[in-house]
Structure 1
Amino acid sequence: MNINVDEQELWRAFQSGDEAAYTQLYQQHVRAMYRYGMSLVAASEAFVLDCVHDVFTEIWVKRTRLTTPANVRYYLLRALRTRIMHLLARKERPFIPLDDADYDALWSEPNELELLEELEAANSRKERLQRLIAQLPPRQQEALKLRFIENLDYNQIGQVLEMNQQSAKNLVFRAVEKLRGWILFVTLLFSIFF
């Protein structure tokens, strides 16, 4: 059976007040929501977890008025992003939003020496890739995570990031191309010197 169909049935059970279905939805999506929330802002784990729990509290309270989403994970990630951005806009809690961070540090390209230092410190191929991804601008990092970790399509990514589908595709494409360039550069450099 299709995962989305199973999730929709679970969602409908939760809407009718089934606490076990609600718990199951929480268990299936809390890790992805936490991961995504931590990628959005430089905030404490407690802040992100509070936002995740706020989303689940709100959907429980409003369950009878909610529609059944076509993709539950997409719905929950979007609700989490909305909640985080709402709280940050109201400045209710201590935080350092990525948008207010030092732009030069965020948007400048790392130089070759910085890339090599990062990669030498990484022990595994996976860790090296994670360190390269961390060098991307925050918006590109977020788009990559939504596409390749959360498996959202470009239309859903565009909606979460509040942009059109083509802009979402372009954002992911630019991030992938930048990573390819860096990986090629580093591979050539390692083959010359090591």
Structure 2
Amino acid sequence: MAGAPTDEVTQWKELLTGNKEAYAAIYGLHVKAMYRYGMSLVSISEEFVLDCIHDVFAEIWIKRDRLSVPDNIRSYLFVALKNRILHLLKRQERPHMFVSQEHFEDLWFESSAEDILTQKEESASREELLTRLIGQLPPRQQEAIRLRFVENMDYQEIGQVLEVNTQSAHNLVFRAMEKLRGWLLAALFLFQYGLIWK
């Protein structure tokens, strides 16, 4: 049996015809990013987010004969995952809590164990500071920043996920960056003069 096509759009088209190898390839290509994104939206448990991801792919497989090729597959999957999570939370099928501050760092910084062990104390302090400041942004701006700088989405893709136009997506990122710059300058000034301690 021939392997799944390497081109993502071709893989999606093959998925729609019932090609299980193409289906598995699309899943493998996006599941890690979908997991990170899901955990950035709501922190319940790893199982909850993975269940939502599996629900999304199960629905795609069931409805494959009625689907078309999305303009952007990753954005399509992110929107589907977000809608699934919100649907379950509105039905209150499972308890939920928003991402806690102590878990937020793991979503934004994916250093290896070796990197963490060798990381300088000053660098670690600045990373922790940035994480804390990001956590103070409004949720919508946090999500936009994450999509831009963690998932490397362009503004059109961000707009698709957040269901806003491209200019609004750009504005969300710009305003978030302006806030972070101001907060970082103030915080680093206080650090420099020993006015902030851990």
**Equivalent in the alignment of 2:36:** 35
**Equivalent in the alignment of 2:19:** 18
What is the Cα deviation at residue 122 of structure 1? Answer: 7.7
Asked whether the 8 Å contact 2:42–2:97 carries over to 1, the reply is yes
User: How many angstroms apart in 2 are the aligned matches of 1:151 and 1:65?
Assistant: 30
SS class of match (1:123):
helix
What is the Cα deviation at residue 153 of structure 1? Answer: 2.8
Asked whether the 8 Å contact 1:122–1:131 carries over to 2, the reply is no
**Equivalent in the alignment of 2:160:** 159
What is the Cα deviation at residue 124 of structure 1? Answer: 5.4
**1:172 paired to 2:173:** yes
User: How many angstroms apart in 1 are the aligned matches of 2:68 and 2:24?
Assistant: 19
Asked whether the 8 Å contact 1:8–1:70 carries over to 2, the reply is no
SS class of match (1:170):
helix
* Structure 2 stretches lacking a partner, 5+ long: 1-5, 101-120
Q: Structure 1, residues 73-113: CA drift from partner, whole Å, max 9, x if none? A: 11100110111111111112221357xx9xxxxxxxxxxxx
Q: TM-score, normalised by structure 1?
A: 0.77
What is the Cα deviation at residue 126 of structure 1? Answer: 3.8
User: How many angstroms apart in 1 are the aligned matches of 2:184 and 2:168?
Assistant: 24
**Equivalent in the alignment of 1:46:** 47
Q: TM-score, normalised by structure 2?
A: 0.76
* Structure number with higher helix proportion: 1
**Equivalent in the alignment of 1:142:** 143
Asked whether the 8 Å contact 1:146–1:152 carries over to 2, the reply is yes
**Equivalent in the alignment of 1:108:** none
Number of equivalences:
170
Q: Structure 1, residues 101-147: CA drift from partner, whole Å, max 9, x if none? A: 9xxxxxxxxxxxxxxxxxx9982544443332222222211111112
* Structure 1 stretches lacking a partner, 5+ long: 102-119
**Equivalent in the alignment of 2:76:** 75
Aligned-residue Cα RMSD (Å) equals 2.5
Q: Structure 1, residues 139-183: CA drift from partner, whole Å, max 9, x if none? A: 211111112222333333233223333332222111111111111
